[in-house]
Chains A and B, each alone.
Chain A
């Protein structure tokens, strides 16, 4: 059973706070590393990005996420790892990706989080459609 990483709409700051609070009982944790992806109001050919609409091949993304999770737990002494990725529309300024890794010590948490973000962006079958302020759209290209 693959853990669900998707939620509809933006990741709220209160979800992030709740997740941090939830971990205070895990007193073997000494470090968390957190990455937040925010929708940026890029200006492309005079039009400004107002939102990104995310779609995914969900079943495949969850299987791939499971593989990535197993690989990182095998290589880093983590206590836990959580990924939240938005689906649907996320406005400029809102959070679309929240990743956090926890470990006894910071090196593992920091390194695993960095690797996890890169793997999510490279390997998960998720697509973003940039919606401009004039209602036009174009498909996002990751760099």
Chain B
């Protein structure tokens, strides 16, 4: 099971803050499960580390989709 989290404006676009996925083995597969993301700007973190490109996933990891930050 992979944990998936959405933040900021993505929570509005996806209409959820978090979900879980089974049988996903890399980040490209996770992205493909959410077609609404295609029109959005975001970066991906796997277990709180920002990644680029396609990254292999292990059981229990957390994939977070984060739009541009707007803190402060």
Which residues of chain A have a CB within 8 Å of any CB of chain B?
A: 37, 54-57, 59-61, 63, 85, 96-97, 117, 120-129, 139-142
**Interchain Cβ contacts within 8 Å, total number:** 66
Contact, CB under 8 Å: A60 / B45: yes
Complex CA distance for A142 and B9, rounded to whole angstroms: 13
**Contact status of A126 and B70, CB under 8 A, knowing A55-B8, A139-B9:** yes
Q: In the complex, which range does the number of interface residues on chain B fall in?
A: 10 to 19
User: Does A121 contact B8, Cβ atoms closer than 8 Å?
Assistant: no
CB pair B70 A57 closer than 8 Å = no
B-side contacts of A128, CB under 8 Å: 70-71
Let me know if A127 and B70 touch, CB within 8 A. yes
Q: List 28 A-B contacts (CB under 8 A).
A: A37-B72, A54-B71, A55-B7, A57-B45, A57-B64, A57-B66, A59-B48, A60-B48, A96-B72, A97-B72, A117-B72, A121-B71, A121-B72, A122-B69, A124-B71, A125-B64, A125-B69, A127-B7, A127-B67, A127-B71, A128-B70, A139-B9, A139-B12, A139-B67, A140-B70, A142-B68, A142-B70, A142-B72
In the complex formed, the residue of B with least CB distance to A119 is B72
A124 and B48 CA atoms in complex are apart in Å by 12
Q: Which of A124, A127, A140, A141 has the most CB of B within 10 A?
A: A127
Question: Nearest CB to that of B5 among chain A residues?
Answer: A57
Query: How near does chain A come to B47, taking the closest CB pair, in angstroms?
Result: 9
By a CB distance below 8 angstroms, the chain A residues around B72 are 37, 85, 96-97, 117, 120-121, 124, 126, 142
Given contacts A57-B5, A57-B64, A125-B66, contact A120 B48 (CB under 8 A): no
Distance in angstroms between the alpha carbons of A122 and B8 in the assembled complex: 15
A24 to chain B, nearest CB (A): 28
Measured CB to CB, the nearest residue on chain B to A137 is B12
A26 nearest CB across to chain B (Å): 26
B49 → A minimal CB distance (Å): 9
Whether A57 and B7, one on each chain, are in contact in the complex, defined by CB atoms closer than 8 angstroms, is yes
